[in-house]
Amino acid sequence: MTIGILGGTGDFGQGLAERLRRLGEGVLVGSRSAREGIIANAEAAARSEVVFLSVPPGGVEATARDLADELAGKIVVSVASPVVFRKGRPTVDAGPRSLAELAQEAAPEARIVAGFHTVAARALFRDDPLDEDVLLSGDDADAKAVVAALAERLVTGRAVDTGRLETARWLETLTALLLNINRNYRSETGVRITGL
Amino acid sequence: MTIGILGGTGDFGQGLAERLRRLGEGVLVGSRSAREGIIANAEAAARSEVVFLSVPPGGVEATARDLADELAGKIVVSVASPVVFRKGRPTVDAGPRSLAELAQEAAPEARIVAGFHTVAARALFRDDPLDEDVLLSGDDADAKAVVAALAERLVTGRAVDTGRLETARWLETLTALLLNINRNYRSETGVRITGL
Residue B33: per-residue pLDDT: 87
**CB neighbour burial string for A47-69, b if at least 16 within 10 angstroms, e if fewer:** ebebbbbbbebebbbebbebbbe
Percent of chain A with pLDDT over 90: 92
Contact present, B54 and B31 (Cβ < 8 Å): no
A35 pLDDT higher than 90: no
Per-residue pLDDT reduced to its tens digit, A46-76:
999 999 999 999 999 999 999 999 999 999 9
pLDDT averaged over every residue in chain B: 96
pTM of the model: 0.96
**B193, A191: Cβ pair inside 8 Å?**
yes
A134 pLDDT higher than 90: yes
For residue B191, what pLDDT band results from cuts at 50, 70 and 90?
Answer: very high
Give the residue-averaged pLDDT of A75-88. 96
B37 pLDDT higher than 90: no
Please state, in angstroms and as integers, the Cα–Cα distance from residue A145 to each residue in A148, A155, B69, B110, following that order: 5, 15, 53, 47
- Which chain B residue has the Cα nearest residue A163? B180
Per-residue pLDDT reduced to its tens digit, B105-157:
999 999 999 999 999 999 999 989 999 999 999 999 999 999 999 999 999 99
Per-residue pLDDT reduced to its tens digit, B165-174:
999 999 999 9
User: Please, what is the Cα angle at B180 between A98 and B114, to 5 degrees?
Assistant: 80
| A 153-182 → B contacts, CB under 8 A | 157, 160-164, 166-167, 169-171, 173-174, 176-178, 180-181
Shortest Cα–Cα distance, B71 to chain A (Å)? 27
Residue B9: per-residue pLDDT: 87
B45 pLDDT higher than 90: yes
**A170, B92: Cβ pair inside 8 Å?**
yes
A37 pLDDT higher than 90: no
Per-residue pLDDT reduced to its tens digit, A144-153:
999 999 999 9
Percent of chain A with pLDDT over 70: 100
Please state, in angstroms and as integers, the Cα–Cα distance from residue A25 to each residue in A8, A18, B79, B133, following that order: 15, 10, 44, 35
Shortest Cα–Cα distance, B107 to chain A (Å)? 24
